[in-house]
Amino acid sequence: MVKLITFTVVVALIGLVRGEPKCSRFDYEEKLLEKMIRMEVEMEKKSDEYKDLQSRISYMLQQVNDERKDLEKEKENMQVRRTHLFLIKHHAFLCH
């Protein structure tokens, strides 16, 4: 029994001496804070990228809307020209 107790004490002492290093609360909090800061920086970066993307999309949509308006005006102008040509041809036909 004494040998078992002695063996257990020796194993426990070896475990304490050679055991894994334990992180102190300060080390843990420092690592956690560093990780949170890295995450915050990454979130700010993503936020800036999102704002840039949103700005580019808004600009492109405005260009598309401007182009659509220009096409609608051109369509109206072509309809007016077609009507004028029809009237000219109809008048020329009636005059002969």
Number of domains in the chain: 1
The per-residue pLDDT for range 48-84, each reduced to its tens digit, is 999 999 999 999 999 999 999 999 999 999 999 999 8
Domain extent at residue 73: 24-95
Tokens representing 47?
């936020």
The per-residue pLDDT for range 30-50, each reduced to its tens digit, is 899 999 999 999 999 999 999
Type and span of the H or E element at 78:
helix 25-95
15 belongs to a structural domain:
no
13 belongs to a structural domain:
no
55 belongs to a structural domain:
yes
Q: What average pLDDT does this structure show over 80-96?
A: 81
| Cα dihedral 25, 31, 35, 41 in deg (nearest 10) | 110
1 belongs to a structural domain:
no
| Cα dihedral 30, 31, 33, 39 in deg (nearest 10) | 160
Q: Is residue 86 pLDDT above 90, yes or no? A: no
6 belongs to a structural domain:
no
